[in-house]
Amino acid sequence: MKKIFFIFSTLYLNSFAMKFDFFENAKNGNLETIRFNLENKINLINDTDKNSRTALHWAIVRTNIILFKYLINQGININVQDNEGLTPLHLAIRSCLKVYSGESSYFKMIMILLDNKDINVNLKDKSEQTPLDLVRNSDWHNKALKYLLISKLEHLSEDPIKE
């Protein structure tokens, strides 16, 4: 019995350490290590950390467009909500609104997410806001881009609300 417990404990600790390393690599943008893990069938792509964030959430937080695109191409679930209910789209929009510039990586991430056939723009965060609500309620300086996003989000939304 002790031997079985030891084997189970060892396997659990090894998987926990592997998962922790995966998220540390995502946070630090270590694309090669992540690529190695995924190519060697260490499938952690849709796993979440203690805050229910995926590697895609961390690629957005760290503004790592290369890792972001790689994870999208690997088929990561783009609709996972973290402990605050934030999807990668919510997070990219919130980040874009905070630091917006004309060539923002966040804006590129938003457009990539919106062009993905699996995107669900109707998910609400813990404050009951959809990505469309975030854009509508913003005081975005670039009105043309704001209305472009509103138009695209309304088109993808199940229940568009007119301003």
Q: What is the pLDDT of residues 68-119, one digit of tens each?
A: 999 999 999 999 999 999 999 999 999 888 775 545 789 899 999 999 999 9
Residues 6+ away with beta carbon under 8 Å from 127: 85
Q: Name the 3-class secondary structure at 86.
A: coil
Please say if the pLDDT value at position 8 is more than 50.
Answer: no
Alpha helices in the chain (DSSP H): 2-28, 31-39, 55-61, 65-73, 88-99, 105-115, 131-136, 143-156
2-156 adopts what CATH topology? 1.25.40
What is the distance of C-alpha 127 from the center of its chain?
Answer: 18
> What whole-number distance in Å separates Cα of residue 148 and Cα of residue 14?
47
* Lowest-pLDDT choice from 2-16, 111-125, 143-157: 2-16
User: Given this model, what pLDDT does residue 161 score?
Assistant: 55
pLDDT of residue 39: 78
pLDDT band for 140, please (50, 70, 90 cuts). confident
| pTM, two decimal places | 0.78
pLDDT tens track for 11-24: 333 444 455 577 78
Helix pair angle (31-39, 65-73), 10° resolution: 10
Query: What does the domain layout of the chain look like in residue ranges?
Result: 2-156
Residue 148 or residue 110, greater confidence: 110
